[in-house]
Chains A and B, each alone.
Chain A
Amino acid sequence: MLAFRRRAEIANPIFFFVLVVTLFPLGVGAQAKLLQAMAPGVIWVSALLAAMLSLDSLFRSDFDDGSLEQMLLSAHPVSVLVLGKIIAHWLVTGVPLILIAPLLAVFLGLPDTALGTLMITLVLGTPVLSLIGSIGVALTLGLRRGGMILSLLVLPLYIPVLIFASNAVEMAATGMAVSAQINILMAIMFLALVLAPLPAAAALKMSIN
């Protein structure tokens, strides 16, 4: 299942991510203190937008060329196939974001103490973005211009992840304990992992109609 997609536009979301984060210092000016204070929020907001940008590629090409029909007709449970697609999507969009994030954190002068927390929140958070996003994409697949509705559908569901993750990084930067936020993020991740593929599969069946 993971060989399912290759040569996709992997570069696009990372490029966007890097671009937004590097543009911030230019826009705000060289105020080290301010940048440092904003860093967790900036990195997380950009990661979230980059993830949303890449969501459409999750099922779109399969929908257009009919592979999705073949997937739905196979004897395997659709939710498992969907989970496979989501994991593949996370590997090509989420993992590169995680890998490049420390570099950007150093750009913005995030304290070293917060770096580990940033990585943990990204590792826990980006899968959630792909999982929740899959439901939104599956729902809007049949619409010709689903982009706007997709963001309206998905963004409110992303906000808890954003709040807890950037809060955790901020706390870590000031040297406080962050286990509470990490635990909540972990809970959200596992909940989404178990629950998201089912509605996504059901929504795909509706979209193909």
Chain B
Amino acid sequence: MENRHYQLQVQRLSCIRDDRVLFSELAFSLKQRQMLLLEGKNGSGKTSLLRILCGFREADEGQVLWCGQEIAHSDYYAKMAYVGHLDGIKKELTVTENLKMALALGKQGRMTIDEALDKVHLQGYDDTLVQSLSAGQKRRLSLARLLITDNILWILDEPFTSLDKQGIQLFESVMSEHIEQDGMIILTSHHDLSLPAVDLQTINLSSCH
């Protein structure tokens, strides 16, 4: 599997919302072991771009290509994972049940549920209802979901919200590990990343008209 090279290409993408051009003629490409940081003011279209990349929204112009094919006609969805503003976690279920559900929807990745919970410092919470977790712990749980499933591309919308300092460090170390293991990441963030070893591209959407 690993001898194939994955690549995400975006060509001449534009997004118009309520008669306002958020961005136009946007183009970039992302290879394995690369990371893309989207910056921009509030309302500059960061989330809209991510939702287009996920296929939730249709781009007003332009294409998103995965290994040269349109994302809808490729194995894109088997290779990507998305963590958005909403955690995608059922609060009536326990931590383990939530992760099992994620496994049912995806493919078993390199970590088991227990290993992933250890990694994000949620060990001992296996049978806790998600309802009683704090916002930061829920974020860690979504991180655990990324770890247990087998993905190449992570799309993260403001992953550092409501995480404490240790949580942010943890998230950063997990991200650089993922990059080292031939992964790729697209994220939006207001934090300054401290990832010196990573091949990082930055796009500022505020200046993208």
Interaction A to B: yes
Residues of chain A at the chain B interface (Cβ within 8 Å): 1, 3-8, 61, 64-67, 69-76, 81, 205, 208-209
Asked if residues A75 and B106 are in contact (CB atoms below 8 Å), the reply is yes
Asked if residues A72 and B87 are in contact (CB atoms below 8 Å), the reply is no
Residues of B contacting A205 in the complex (Cβ-Cβ under 8 angstroms):
56
Cα of A8 to Cα of B93 in the assembled complex, Å:
11
Q: Given the known inter-chain contacts A3-B97, A6-B93, A7-B92, please indicate yes or no for A70 contacting B102, CB distance below 8 A.
A: yes
Asked if residues B56 and A208 are in contact (CB atoms below 8 Å), the reply is yes
Residues of B contacting A74 in the complex (Cβ-Cβ under 8 angstroms):
77, 105-106
- B110 beta carbon closer than 8 Å to chain A: no
Q: Given the known inter-chain contacts A73-B77, A209-B57, please indicate yes or no for A67 contacting B106, CB distance below 8 A.
A: no
Residues of B contacting A208 in the complex (Cβ-Cβ under 8 angstroms):
56
- Chain A to chain B contacts (Cβ below 8 Å), 12 pairs: A4-B101, A6-B93, A61-B90, A65-B87, A65-B88, A66-B86, A66-B87, A67-B90, A70-B105, A73-B81, A74-B105, A75-B75
Residues of A contacting B105 in the complex (Cβ-Cβ under 8 angstroms):
70-71, 74, 76, 81
Query: Which residue of B has the minimal Cβ distance to A74?
Result: B105
Cα of A163 to Cα of B107 in the assembled complex, Å:
46
Asked if residues A6 and B101 are in contact (CB atoms below 8 Å), the reply is no
Chain B, interface size: which category?
Answer: 20 to 34
- B54 beta carbon closer than 8 Å to chain A: yes
Asked if residues B89 and A6 are in contact (CB atoms below 8 Å), the reply is no
Residues of A contacting B102 in the complex (Cβ-Cβ under 8 angstroms):
70
Asked if residues B56 and A72 are in contact (CB atoms below 8 Å), the reply is yes
B112 CB → nearest A CB, Å: 19
Residues of A contacting B84 in the complex (Cβ-Cβ under 8 angstroms):
66, 69
Asked if residues A70 and B82 are in contact (CB atoms below 8 Å), the reply is yes
Residues of chain B at the chain A interface (Cβ within 8 Å): 54-58, 75, 77-78, 80-82, 84-93, 97, 101-102, 104-107
Residues of B contacting A1 in the complex (Cβ-Cβ under 8 angstroms):
104
Query: Which residue of A has the minimal Cβ distance to B105?
Result: A74
Query: Which residue of B has the minimal Cβ distance to A7?
Result: B92
B91 CB → nearest A CB, Å: 7
Partner pick for B77 among A4, A65, A75, CB 8 A cutoff: A75
Residues of B contacting A66 in the complex (Cβ-Cβ under 8 angstroms):
84-89
A97 CB → nearest B CB, Å: 23
Asked if residues A65 and B89 are in contact (CB atoms below 8 Å), the reply is yes
Asked if residues A73 and B80 are in contact (CB atoms below 8 Å), the reply is yes
Query: Which residue of A has the minimal Cβ distance to B101?
Result: A4
Cα of A115 to Cα of B195 in the assembled complex, Å:
71
Contacts A71-B105, A209-B58 known; list 6 others, CB within 8 Å: A5-B92, A65-B86, A66-B86, A69-B88, A74-B105, A208-B56
A136 CB → nearest B CB, Å: 21
Residues of B contacting A76 in the complex (Cβ-Cβ under 8 angstroms):
105
Of the candidates B82, B86, B102, the one having the most CB atoms from chain A within 10 angstroms of its own CB is: B86
Cα of A81 to Cα of B104 in the assembled complex, Å:
11
Query: Which residue of A has the minimal Cβ distance to B106?
Result: A74
B154 CB → nearest A CB, Å: 12
A81 CB → nearest B CB, Å: 8
B85 CB → nearest A CB, Å: 8
Asked if residues A67 and B89 are in contact (CB atoms below 8 Å), the reply is yes
B53 CB → nearest A CB, Å: 11
A202 CB → nearest B CB, Å: 13
Asked if residues B88 and A70 are in contact (CB atoms below 8 Å), the reply is yes
Residues of A contacting B91 in the complex (Cβ-Cβ under 8 angstroms):
65
Asked if residues A209 and B101 are in contact (CB atoms below 8 Å), the reply is no
B193 CB → nearest A CB, Å: 24
B16 CB → nearest A CB, Å: 14
Residues of A contacting B80 in the complex (Cβ-Cβ under 8 angstroms):
73
